[in-house]
Amino acid sequence: MADNVAITPGSGATAASDDIGGVQFQRIKLVHGADGVNDGDVSSVNGLPTYIVDTSTATSFGPITTANTALFAAVDTANERAVVLQLTSSHAGTINLEASNDGTNYWPIQGFDFDCDQFLKNSFTGPGLFQVSVSARWFRAVTSSDFAGSVSGSYSLRSGNHEQPFSSVNLTHVDPSVVMQMGGIDQDNQRVPVRLNSLGHVVPADGQQFRGSVSRLGSIVQVDTTGYNSIVLQLVNTWAGTVSFEASNDGTTWVAVVGWPSAGGAAPVTSSTANGQWILPASGRFFRARCSAYTSGFPSAVLLLRNSPAFATATSPSIATNQTVNVAQIGGTNTVTAGVAGMMAVGGNIAEDTAATSNPVISGGVVRTALPASTVVAGDAIRATYSQSGQMITKQNAPGDLDFYVNATVTTNAQTSLRAAQASPIRQNVTSVTFQNTNATATTLTIQDGSTTLVTFSVPASMTLPLQLLFPTPLRGTAATALNYTAGTTGASVLLTVTGFNSY
């Protein structure tokens, strides 16, 4: 209640005051404005400008060593805008963020990880620094049901709030007749366009990071790899056991996948019993690193999702060195060890001085001492022919092993066998005839394919030198038929030589 003091300037007036401990304090009405300017009385529609000074201090907690336990007593966040939470120590499991209006019933909320490209999460594996925007009256952080180890840290209440990249975007006027490219704000507060692949799908941010840790059998970290080409997995911490690398399309059925050591040189693996870093292709929709055998400690994983491929390129050397590739089999058949280091060998399936019992790929041909298979016909492929000493045979008509020559002395006009019939379907072909008649009587001589005449020629009497007849086109006989001769007179005495070759 006002205690007024009378003032008598002339006819008198009354000033408003308040008695505080026997002393009168004048009651005044506020206005605000610059010097010499009245911007109006302070009211509900013309408030007095105020500036908040953040005087928050950090409150420490821990160590906490049990599951399903609050890290600190529920914090009253009235008149605050954010909570900054710092986690230290080593632990497995997660720290879950929760908020409540009545202090009894709590619900999950999300926070911002300053050390991660993923903006909002409702749980953290720590250690690290995190900010939670105030969304209700009470706030707390609770260890998960699978928590193990120890966690300590501190929190502070802030009257200011770290600006989220997605919550402070200046909108500009858009001309509806113009197609506007979709974009966003990068970490330097610069506008950048959204990347699309050739199918028009949005390419997600490169280097998304996920963390996880366990102290038992089960998944350490599991992610959806949609839109990414490769996974970089690093195992850390002190532990003993086996961590398996697995992929799935449905999130239920998992299969082993191969990871290549980032340092290169070592063989790819599907699991590990020690810390290290591996590069894996994003071959399924989901990927997980799972503790498949547990002995002790806290196996922890740090996982990155990358837009780059799993293998090295000129602009993205994902693997530091060349990888060893062992092509042990092709089509289920063991390969032949051959070639020069750094080159893939190309060879047949037999070596030199080995019987060609299969279907070799060789640069050359085969040694022939007889005719090839009789099933070789016009249009068929056939190997080149070589001698037994490795010389390629380019001899006219046939290899020397298929040639023949026969000698006879013709003394009768009866049909006489010059060379017996060959096995079917082999033919006898005559390429030359050499003769000399030592008798004083001239005669004729006929070379026959069985009883069919191939050639007949006159033989002069008393020849001092032999005479040779060459046939540019061989006289071709009939298959499986004898080669015969017949003289024109009974008193002949002709020295005869016939050459030729076998063929089909």
User: Which has more confidence, 234 or 198?
Assistant: 234
Alpha carbon 424 to its chain centroid, in Å, reads 60
pLDDT single digits (tens) 177-192:
666 666 667 656 666 6
Confirm whether 208-306 and 400-503 share one CATH topology.
yes
Superfamily in which the 400-503 domain is placed by CATH: Nucleoplasmin core domain (2.60.120.340)
pLDDT given at position 26: 83
Mean pLDDT value across residues 382-393: 79
Closest CA to 70 of 41, 48, 99, 28: 99
Q: Could you tell me the two tokens for 468?
A: 């040779």
Both tokens of residue 436? 């000399």
pLDDT tens-digit readout, 467-489: 999 999 999 999 999 999 999 99
In angstroms, rounded to a whole number, what is the distance separating the alpha carbons of residues 377 and 281?
53
> What pLDDT score does 8 carry?
63
Which pLDDT value is given to residue 242? Answer: 96
Range in 51-55, 333-337, 353-357, 387-391 with the lowest mean pLDDT = 333-337
* Domain coordinates in residue numbering, the chain: 1-31, 59-158, 208-306, 400-503
Give percent of the chain above pLDDT 90. Answer: 41
What is the 3 state secondary structure string of 153-180? Answer: EEEEEECCCCCCCCCCCCCCCCCCCCCC
Report DSSP state, residue 73. Answer: S
Range name among 144-153, 256-265, 356-365 with the lowest pLDDT average? 356-365
- Is pLDDT above 90 for 14? no
Helical spans, DSSP H, in 61-166: none
Average pLDDT, the chain: 81
Q: Which residue in the block uniquely carries the two structure tokens 């006879």? A: 408
Does position 273 have pLDDT exceeding 90, yes or no? yes
Distance CA 112, CA 74 (A): 20
Cα distance between residue 187 and residue 194, in whole Å: 14
Judge contact between 7 and 15, C-beta under 8 A: yes
The rounded distance, in Å, linking the Cα atoms of 56 and 445 is 132
pLDDT band with cut points at 50, 70 and 90 for residue 45: confident
pLDDT attached to residue 93: 84
CA distance 243 to 239: 10
> In a 3-state reduction of DSSP, which class is residue 401?
helix
Pairing of β 365-367 and β 384-386: parallel
Q: 208-306 has which fold?
A: Jelly Rolls (2.60.120)
Considering the domain 59-158 in this protein, what is its CATH number?
2.60.120
Determine whether 421 is exposed, middle or buried from the number of CB atoms within 10 Å of its CB (0-12, 13-18, 19+): middle
Mean pLDDT of the region 228-248: 94
pLDDT per residue as tens digits for the range 335-371:
555 555 555 556 566 666 677 666 655 567 788 777 7
- pLDDT reading at 317 higher than 60: no
The pLDDT, as a whole number, for residue 315 is 40
**Segment 102-120, tens digit of pLDDT:** 999 999 988 877 765 455 6
Over 50: is that where the pLDDT of 408 sits?
Answer: yes
216 pLDDT more than 60: yes
Rounded Cα distance, 237 and 126, in Å: 13
CA 333 distance to own-chain centroid: 24
**The tokens of 79 are what?**
């008149």
pLDDT attached to residue 351: 65
